[in-house]
Amino acid sequence: MRGGTTTMATTLPKLTEDEIAAKLAALGHGWQREGKMIVKEYVFSGFTEATQFIAKLPGPANAMDHHPDIQLYRYKRVKILLWTHSRDGLTQNDFDLAAQIDALIT
């Protein structure tokens, strides 16, 4: 809840293991399950390209009110970690945002 209102993340159900497996397969290349999260590493040609990608993330994340953890390491690698904190697991929001993040690359 934010400001006394219910956000979409608090109303979405936590996905079952079978649902997660199906949605992960549908996402395509690169997304993997790590515990309660789905993660993907993007490798860019350099630091500038990696940080330009990171700068694009607030658009879809803010539009969904769903914010990933972001790790920049080895100057050109960006790791995205998604899960729904309020559900302590994965919801449809995680997979929707993953697809939107992938779309930033293509």
Q: Rounded distance, CA 77 to CA 36, Å?
A: 22
Instruction: Identify the domain containing residue 72 by its residue range.
Output: 30-103
Is pLDDT at 10 greater than 80 in this prediction?
no
Contact between residue 69 and residue 81 where contact means Cβ atoms under 8 Å apart: yes
Q: What's the total number of domains in the chain? A: 1
Residue 7 lies inside a defined structural domain of this protein: no
Q: Rounded distance, CA 97 to CA 64, Å?
A: 8
Residue 93 lies inside a defined structural domain of this protein: yes
Residue 24 lies inside a defined structural domain of this protein: no
Residue 20 lies inside a defined structural domain of this protein: no
Residue 16 lies inside a defined structural domain of this protein: no
- Give the residue with greater pLDDT, 10 vs 103: 103
Residue 34 lies inside a defined structural domain of this protein: yes
Residue 58 lies inside a defined structural domain of this protein: yes
Is pLDDT at 6 greater than 50 in this prediction?
no
